Each structure stands twice: as C-alpha cells, then as structure tokens.
Chains A and B, each alone.
Chain A
C-alpha cells in the first residue's frame, strides 16, 4: 500500500493545514508516506493505523453481511432437505443461461473493482475512474438481467407466497403443481406411516423419502392428465417408495390404510413420540392438509396448496436474490460517490481508504452471488 509517494499531488485540500489539532499532527508529518494532516484523524498514530482500523471496521460489517445471508442459506438448506423433489423441479423454472451470464458479469465487475484500487495505488486517476465506471456499468447490466428474469416469472404467475398461481395453460405447470392429483394413488401417507416404526437412526431418511415419494407419486398421474411430463419426472417416480409400492407395503404391514385414519396416526405419534421431528412436524402438517383436501374432494384447493408449497422455493429465491440485488444497488450508489470524489482528485496512493472499503464490499456481494447461483439455478 502506501509507499513514499508525494502526498499532495492530487489533493486540492493539501494547501490548507490542520483543523485545530495541527500541533499534534505536525509530529507525524515528517515521516515518509504519512498522510497529510487533512486526512489523518487526530486520534490515530499513523496513516497505516488509520487505514487498518477502517478496514477492520469494514470487515466487521462484512461479517454481519455473511451472517445475514447465512440465515437465508440455512433456510434454503432446511427446505431443500424437507422438499428435495420440489426444489429440483422448481429450480427448473430458473433460467440457467441468464444466471450464468450474470455470474460472469459480476466476476468481471470484481476484476474492474480490484483494478480501480490498483489505479488508486498507482496514483493513476484515469485507471481509477475508468474502472469504477466500468464496474457501475457491469453492475447495472446485472440488474437489467435480473429485471428480465423477474418480469418473466411474474408473467408466468410465479409470485412469491400465496399469490403464487400458475396460469392454467402454462406449459411447464406440471413441474410445479406436484401434488395436484390427490388421487388415491397419493394416499400412501403410508410412506409416512412407515416412519414411526423405524428406528431412530433411519428416521430422517425415511421421512425425506416418504415426502419425496408423496410428491413423486402425485406427479405421475398429473403428467398423464396434462401434457407430456418433462424428462425430469421420469427419474423421480421410480425413486420414490410410495410410487413403487414400497411405502404402501410398509403401510399395509403397519396400521390400517385410509386417508383420515392415516393422518391421525401419523400426526400423533410422529410429533409426540419423536424428538426427531423437524422434518416430521412439517410433513405431518402437510399430510393433514392433504388429507383434508382429499376428504372434501376439491382438487382445486389441493392445487393452491401445492402451489403455495412451490411458493416456498420461490419465496426463498425472491428473498435471497432480492436482498442480493438490493446490495448491488447500494454498491452502485457507493461506487457512484467514489467516481465523484475520484474525479475531483481526492484519492491518491496515500489515501484511498473509501475505494478499498467499497472494493471489499463489492467482492463480498460478488462472493455471495457465487454461492446463490449454483444453489438456486444449477442443483
């Protein structure tokens, strides 16, 4: 970082001296590469110390950012475990090409940002300003792509939450409305019933499988009903115990079958007897809902319900990418300020702390996207 460059080259403020604390700072001026008094706060011993202190503050802030997104990644992970099938299919709705393009754009912008810092270190204002502007352009490109992604989804009716409702005719509706078909084939809540019998170790696996089974089983008839199912579905069906009759078999071996009864049996013991319940609690809740839907025989309700469940994936998608996009916007504003001050000649190799800190921020925003992209779009 700061070497022995002249302090005042680019600094219009250099002319006027200290700000009332002058006498303290004059002791520091003699040193090589020390900051000009107008930039060095009186409570720091040296410009290195000031630089390191403000970087430390930035790192602390970035730690909070990581924890903020960490919460969302945890939610993502939990629901992925609870509804693996749903994730697999819902994520097909995301446009991998656009996502990859955005990844590239962000990576490039990280490069230009790092280059801008290099420019500041070399006292090269052209490199500094040019790269900052390039970063803003790339970041705006990212937002434009995101805009198209979002609007496309809204057109398809993929809104977050309860508003989540696909048009009847949307071609890939079968990807999403997994549990629409509340046909008897689904009733293998038997898959669920298997769970309480299982030993503690296998419990989790059982539940997940059962859940997957439920979705898979429900998917199959729908595919027949609607139009041709996409290739993905074919894999799903054989995997699922319910569909292959495994789950059903277990159920037969266990308690009696029948939608309502099955619901009670599962919800009761699963919640009460097991300390293992996170997965179970949720799936038990689901079973109950399914049971009701089945009982009253309204397929439409079932669809809304299942849509809502697909809404979980898209809710997490919108929250994560939305908050990330918000960070991009804030980054653009911050870099905008940098351009303004850099243009004015505020930064030099001796003092470019804001450039460095905004750069750190920008890299973190980039890195978060590097995780969001594969998790959301690819797997």
Chain B
C-alpha cells in the first residue's frame, strides 16, 4: 500500500504518531482484556481475585487497570501530537524542525508510557519504593514531551506563520498542553501528589491534556482537513470566533479548578460545606463551561453551513500543504484516492521544493496547482533520496 519512495524518513509526522499509537494499542489492550475476564469470573462465579471480601486483592486490580490506562492516555494524545506537527509545518511554511526527534519522541513516549502506571497509585498502598521509582520514571517522560514542544516552537521561529483557524487551534494546543504537561509532572511528584490526589487539581490536569491537548488538536485537524474531506471550505471568520470562544471558555472552566484543587476541593463531590469560599470559583468555572460550549456550537454550525450547496468548492490544496493528500489529489479525493500511485521524491515538509517555481514561497502564496496524477514531473532532480529532512543545509 505504501507509495514507492515513501521511506521512514519521508513519512508525515502524523503517520509516525499513528505508528507509535499502534504499538501502545497492541501491547496495552490485552492486559485490560484479561483483567475484564478475571473480573467477569469474579462477578459470575464469586471467585476471589480482586474483591477483598472474597480474599482477593484490590490493589492488583488497580495495577492491572492502570497498566492499561496510563498507556491509554498516550493512545489519546499521540495522534494529537501528529496532527499538531502537520499544522505547525504547513502554517509556518517551514520544515518541521527536528523531524527525526519529533518522530522518535513519539516512539519513546509510547515505550516509556508502559513504565509509569504506578503514578496513579501513590496513595493506594503500593510499596513506597515503587512509588519513588514510578515518580522518577514519570519525570523522565516529560523529556520526549518537551522535545516536541520545543521543536514545534522552533518550527514557527523564522517561519512564516499564517494564522488560519487550524493554526489558532494548534497554538491553543501548544499553550494548554504545556500547562497540562507541567501540572502532570507536578502530580507525578510523589510528595505533591499525596496532597493533590483525588482533588480538582487532577481534574484540571487531565482536562488540560485531554481537552486542551487532544480535543484542540482534533479541532485544528478537522478544520485543516475539512476541505479535503468534504470539498468545501468553512467560513474563516466563524472559525476564528469559535477558536477564541473555546480558548477563553476552556481556561475559565479549568484553570480555576487548579486553584480549587490546590485548596483541597475533592473530586466527585457535589457540595463543599466546609469550604464556602469556593462558591464563586465554582460558579465562574460553570460560566466558563457555557462559553466553551458556545464555542463548540459555533464549530458545529460552521461545519454545517459549509456543507450547503451554494458554498463554493474547495481547491485541491487550500493551505499549501506539502504532503501527498494535498499535492497529489483533489478535494475531496477521487474514488481511488490517487489516479496514479504517487512517486515520493522528497520529505513531507519540503515546502521550498514545492514552491521553488513561484517567487514567493511564503505566507499564503498562491499554491501551484499540482496536476492530479502527475507526480512524476515533480522535481526528481532536487532529491536523490538520501537527503535527510532536517539536515542543516535545508534550514
């Protein structure tokens, strides 16, 4: 299925992240599978495996559960990382900086992600030694995450940043996920987590990574690929309004929860008689959620409006992307995706290859119309296939 010339180092970063995600899915899922089998045995036959009343060990269940469920959070975030890499490249008109570091850090996260599950169990009664070790490894996983953040920032540096809706969401991701990741390290610190565990702080942390991370990347990605999927462009103004509402509403909803959590507001309680001073904060958080909901509603309306008959058709490559779905097929793609199997001759973000004929390769320049099905004409001379995507000469 792979197009000829599509080597590992020419793979779009989104595919790298999907690759890393598949590793996690394959290796983590069987464990939750057998956990469920054992749980069913316990419920149906009364076998004591997890239930202490039957002689079982509930901490064992937690180990099994988190051995799957921590890797599962990477199943959620890794594809988002991939989407952000695509957006950063396309909307900065710049080769994604540190392509290989970004690609391999996904794999590193996938593998390290299997060794940190105990950070959800600091207060479960696991041994103190394992808590310390899990805390330490949790810090380590911040490294590949940081590698990504810094490389994305560097991609924008001296790039030509084009603030279309997808890029606004990508920037929102960068901001929110960084907060989520840093607070992840905070709750990953054993001593701190003893206090913060099961408080709103944790709720805020995982909303910053899951909503601020995965959902923002999803929204950015859906705007980015919308014309490719539907053949129609959404309304840019409405898109920007939605991004703004989502950004404001999200922070209003969840940042406040960091504050409440650090003051001791527990998760999963609907009242807090001992802490009346939290009431305005809770109310502000609720109002924030309305703003957030409104923003998401605008996204939905914008999408539906764009599907009307009278909306003009989208061009094949509205953003000037350099990956195959933009350069080698129409919007939406034909029945077989590509008329002819594309021949890949350069990396996924080689914008200067793509734009070298047009004088201005920057900032929303009109995109050369690549003839569908005519990949062979493209610049074979430029690339002999040995050049690395991020070799210094290309910067």
Q: With a CB–CB cut-off of 8 A, which chain B residues contact A316?
A: 49
Q: Which of B33-41, B180-188, B242-250 contacts A (4 or more CB under 8 A)?
A: B33-41
Indicate whether A319 sits within 8 Å of B30 (C-beta atoms), given known contacts A289-B53, A312-B48: no
Interface size on B, residues (CB 8 A): 36
Q: State A315–B34 Cα separation when bound (angstroms).
A: 14
Chain B 24-49 residues near chain A, CB threshold 8 A: 26-27, 29-31, 33-35, 37-38, 41-42, 44-49
Chain B 43-73 residues near chain A, CB threshold 8 A: 44-49, 52-60, 63-64
Verify B125–A281 contact, CB threshold 8 A: yes
Smallest beta-carbon distance B134→chain A, Å: 12
Q: With a CB–CB cut-off of 8 A, which chain A residues contact B31?
A: 67-68, 70-71
B48 touches which of A70, A204, A276, A311 (Cβ 8 Å): A311
Verify B2–A315 contact, CB threshold 8 A: no
Verify B41–A160 contact, CB threshold 8 A: yes
Q: With a CB–CB cut-off of 8 A, which chain B residues contact A160?
A: 41, 45, 47
B41 touches which of A71, A83, A161 (Cβ 8 Å): A161
CB of B366 closer than 8 Å to a CB of A = no
A276 touches which of B37, B44, B128 (Cβ 8 Å): B128
- The chain B residue with its CB closest to the CB of A275 is B128
B27 touches which of A67, A75, A289 (Cβ 8 Å): A67
Q: State A277–B126 Cα separation when bound (angstroms).
A: 6
- The chain B residue with its CB closest to the CB of A42 is B1
CB of B17 closer than 8 Å to a CB of A = no
Smallest beta-carbon distance B52→chain A, Å: 4
Q: With a CB–CB cut-off of 8 A, which chain A residues contact B26?
A: 60, 63-64
Q: State A275–B194 Cα separation when bound (angstroms).
A: 12
- The chain B residue with its CB closest to the CB of A64 is B30
Smallest beta-carbon distance A19→chain B, Å: 16
Smallest beta-carbon distance A323→chain B, Å: 7
Indicate whether A78 sits within 8 Å of B30 (C-beta atoms), given known contacts A276-B127, A315-B45: no
B53 touches which of A79, A204, A278, A285 (Cβ 8 Å): A285
Q: State A78–B41 Cα separation when bound (angstroms).
A: 17
B contact patch SS? helix
Q: With a CB–CB cut-off of 8 A, which chain B residues contact A79?
A: 49, 57
A281 touches which of B37, B48, B59 (Cβ 8 Å): B59
- The chain B residue with its CB closest to the CB of A271 is B125
CB of B131 closer than 8 Å to a CB of A = yes
Q: With a CB–CB cut-off of 8 A, which chain A residues contact B47?
A: 160-162, 311-312, 315
Q: With a CB–CB cut-off of 8 A, which chain B residues contact A72?
A: 34, 38
Q: State A67–B42 Cα separation when bound (angstroms).
A: 20
Q: Which of B52, B64, B128 has the most CB of A within 10 A?
A: B52
Interface 1/0 per residue, A51-67 and B, CB below 8 Å: 00000000010011101
- The chain A residue with its CB closest to the CB of B194 is A275
Smallest beta-carbon distance B91→chain A, Å: 32
CB of A8 closer than 8 Å to a CB of B = no
A contact patch SS? helix
Verify B55–A75 contact, CB threshold 8 A: no
Smallest beta-carbon distance A197→chain B, Å: 18
- The chain B residue with its CB closest to the CB of A160 is B45
Indicate whether A161 sits within 8 Å of B125 (C-beta atoms), given known contacts A75-B38, A309-B55: no
- The chain B residue with its CB closest to the CB of A319 is B41
Indicate whether A312 sits within 8 Å of B60 (C-beta atoms), given known contacts A67-B30, A68-B33: no
Interface 1/0 per residue, A239-280 and B, CB below 8 Å: 000000000000000000000000000000001001111101
- The chain B residue with its CB closest to the CB of A66 is B30
Q: State A309–B54 Cα separation when bound (angstroms).
A: 7
Indicate whether A285 sits within 8 Å of B55 (C-beta atoms), given known contacts A64-B30, A71-B35, A275-B131: yes
Smallest beta-carbon distance A198→chain B, Å: 14
Q: Which of B31, B41, B42, B48 has the most CB of A within 10 A?
A: B48
CB of A282 closer than 8 Å to a CB of B = yes
Q: State A187–B144 Cα separation when bound (angstroms).
A: 54
CB of A200 closer than 8 Å to a CB of B = yes
Q: With a CB–CB cut-off of 8 A, which chain B residues contact A70?
A: 30-31, 34
Q: With a CB–CB cut-off of 8 A, which chain B residues contact A311?
A: 46-48
Verify A63–B34 contact, CB threshold 8 A: no
Chain B 113-137 residues near chain A, CB threshold 8 A: 125-128, 131
Contact sample, A vs B, 24 pairs, CB 8 Å cutoff:
A63-B27, A64-B27, A67-B34, A70-B30, A71-B64, A74-B63, A75-B60, A79-B49, A161-B45, A162-B46, A162-B47, A163-B45, A276-B127, A278-B57, A280-B125, A281-B52, A282-B56, A282-B57, A285-B52, A308-B48, A308-B54, A311-B47, A312-B56, A315-B48
B residues adjacent to A (C-beta < 8 A): 1-2, 26-27, 29-31, 33-35, 37-38, 41-42, 44-49, 52-60, 63-64, 125-128, 131
* 6 interchain residue pairs of minimum CB distance: A161-B45, A162-B46, A277-B125, A71-B34, A315-B47, A285-B52
